[in-house]
């Protein structure tokens, strides 16, 4: 369900990518209450000299940065959950990356359940089908 795209400034580092993917997955599970078996994390690295803040490269600023973009189903988390997640991501990545620039972003995109899915099925379909299996919604109502 959640797909996370993470860009990190600096040289490609598979060991760091694994450590960060583990941490982001843990936070997504614990803070946003997402199922770990459907959390996907992709990590890419952007050279410091190609990442700019206010026209100045991170190489010149001698800082690190990140941009995390997560897609989740619409209305599945409260505002406080999302605020807690953004704070937790920032703290964790600050620890793992070191001296990060304050302009390091986390973006939570809420996708409509009828326009988002996996296994070739929408989240809405999976939800309705799961409710039916649990006899919560009678088949004739759906």
Nearest to 18 by CA among 6, 30, 9, 28: 6
Contact 83, 40 (CB under 8 A): no
Whole-angstrom distance, CA of residue 41 vs CA of residue 20: 9
Per-residue confidence (pLDDT) for residue 126, from 0 to 100: 79
Residue given tokens 């989740």 in the structure block: 72
Contact 69, 35 (CB under 8 A): no
Taking the model in full, what pTM does it have?
0.87
Which CATH fold topology does 3-111 show?
Answer: Macrophage Migration Inhibitory Factor (3.30.429)
Kindly report, as residue ranges, where domains of CATH 3.30.429.10 are found in the chain. Answer: 3-111
Indicate the DSSP class of residue 139.
Answer: T
- pLDDT, tens only, 76-94: 999 999 999 999 999 999 9
Residue 45 confidence (pLDDT) above 90: yes
Per-residue confidence (pLDDT) for residue 98, from 0 to 100: 95
Tokens representing 32 are 């946003």
Whole-angstrom distance, CA of residue 57 vs CA of residue 132: 54
Residue 58 pLDDT grade (very low, low, confident, very high; cuts 50, 70, 90): very high
């Amino acid at each position: 369900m959640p797909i996370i795209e993470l860009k990190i400034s600096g040289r490609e580092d598979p060991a760091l990518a694994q450590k960060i993917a583990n941490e982001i997955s843990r936070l997504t599970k614990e803070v946003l209450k997402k199922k770990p078996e459907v959390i996907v994390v992709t990590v890419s690295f952007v050279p410091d000299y190609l990442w700019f803040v206010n026209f100045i490269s991170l190489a010149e600023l001698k800082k690190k940065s990140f941009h995390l973009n997560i897609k989740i189903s619409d209305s599945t988390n409260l505002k406080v959950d999302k605020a807690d997640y953004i704070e937790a991501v920032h703290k964790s990545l600050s620890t793992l990356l070191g001296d990060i620039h304050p302009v390091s972003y986390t973006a939570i995109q809420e996708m409509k359940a009828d326009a988002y899915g996996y296994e070739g099925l929408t989240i809405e379909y999976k939800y309705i089908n799961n409710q039916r299996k649990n006899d919560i919604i009678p088949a004739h109502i759906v």
